[in-house]
Chains A and B, each alone.
Chain A
Amino acid sequence: MNAIISLLSSAITRGAPLLLGTTGEILNEKSGSLNLGVEGIMAVGAIGGFLGACWTESIILGILFGFICGALCGLLFAFLTITMKANQNVTGLAMTIFGVGVCRFIGQNMKTEGTFPIMNPNLTSKFAENGIPLLKNIPIIGPLLFSHNILVYLAIIIAVCVWIYMNKTKAGLKMRAIGENPAAADSVGINVDLYKYINITLGGGIMGIGGLYMGVIINNGTWNDDWIGGYGWIAVALVIFANWSAVKALLGSFIFGLMLALQSKVGNLAAEFPNALGWTAKIPVEFYMALPFILTAVVLIINSAMHKKSGNAPSAMGINYYREDR
Chain B
Amino acid sequence: MKKRIISFLLMIVLVCSCFAAFAGCNKNDGNKEFKVGVLHINPVSSTSGYTYAHQQGIIAMQNALSLKDSQIIIKDSIDDNNSSAINTAIEELIEAGCNMIIGTSFGYMEELQNYANEYPNIIFSHGTGSLDTFGEGKNNNMNNYFGRIYQARYLSGIVAGLSTTSNKIGYVSAFGTTIAECTSGVNAFALGVQAVNPDAVVYVKTLNSWYDPANEAAYAKALIDMGCDVIAQHCDTEQPSVEAQKAGVYSIGYNSDMSKAIDNGEQTVLTSVVWNWGVYYTAAVREAMKCFENGEFKNTDAWVAFGNYYGSYADGLYDITPLSSEVSSDAASILELVKEEMRKGTTDWDVFTNKALSFTKENEVWTMSKVDRELKKADGTATGEITVSNIVGDMPYWIQGVNYVA
Contacts and interface: CB of A to CB of B under 8 A. Distances in A.
Contact of A224 (B222, B237, B246, B263): B237
Contacts of A10: 218, 221-222
A121 B264 contact: yes
B43 A225 contact: yes
Contacts of A243: none
Interface in A215-237: 218-226, 229
Contacts of B260: 115
B252 to A, nearest CB: 17
A270 B406 contact: yes
Interface string B36-58: 00000001011100000000000
A2 interface: yes
Contacts of B222: 6, 10, 264-265, 267-268
Is the interface on chain B under 10, 10 to 19, 20 to 34, or 35 or more residues?
Answer: 20 to 34
A115 B214 CA distance: 20
B342 interface: no
B239 A222 contact: yes
A120 B262 contact: no
Given A2-B225, A6-B225, A285-B208, A222 B405 contact: no
A218 B216 CA distance: 10
Contact of A264 (B219, B261, B263, B403): B219
A313 B239 CA distance: 40
B226 A226 contact: no
A280 to B, nearest CB: 8
B83 interface: no
Contact of B218 (A3, A111, A124, A261): A261
Contacts of B406: 266-267, 270, 281, 285
Nearest to B43: A225
A309 B226 CA distance: 46
B238 interface: yes
Contacts of A222: 213, 237-239, 242, 262
Given A118-B263, A220-B243, A264-B205, A271 B226 contact: yes
B335 interface: no
A185 B218 CA distance: 47
A46 B214 CA distance: 14
A14 B278 CA distance: 40
Nearest to A284: B208
A270 B406 CA distance: 8
A181 interface: no
Contact of A111 (B47, B217, B243): B47
Contact of B242 (A14, A220, A285): A220
A286 B215 CA distance: 13
B242 to A, nearest CB: 4
A115 B77 contact: no
B272 interface: no
Interface string B105-135: 0000000000000000000000000000000
A293 interface: no
A142 to B, nearest CB: 15
Interface in A92-123: 108, 111, 114-116, 118, 120-121
B77 A225 contact: yes
Contacts of B226: 2-3, 268, 271
Interface string A178-218: 00000000000000000000000000000000000010001
Contacts of B144: none
B245 interface: yes
A135 to B, nearest CB: 21
Contacts of A116: 47
Interface string A119-148: 011001100110000000000000000000
A315 interface: no
Contacts of B403: 271
Contacts of A14: 218
A296 interface: no
Given A121-B262, A267-B205, A281-B406, 8 more contacts: A2-B226, A108-B43, A219-B239, A220-B217, A220-B246, A224-B43, A225-B77, A268-B226
28 contacts: A3-B225, A3-B226, A10-B222, A108-B43, A111-B47, A115-B261, A116-B47, A118-B262, A120-B263, A121-B246, A121-B263, A129-B246, A219-B239, A220-B217, A220-B243, A221-B242, A224-B43, A263-B215, A264-B215, A264-B219, A265-B222, A266-B406, A267-B205, A267-B406, A268-B226, A268-B405, A281-B406, A286-B208
What 3 pairs across the A-B complex have the smallest Cβ distances? A267-B406, A267-B405, A281-B406
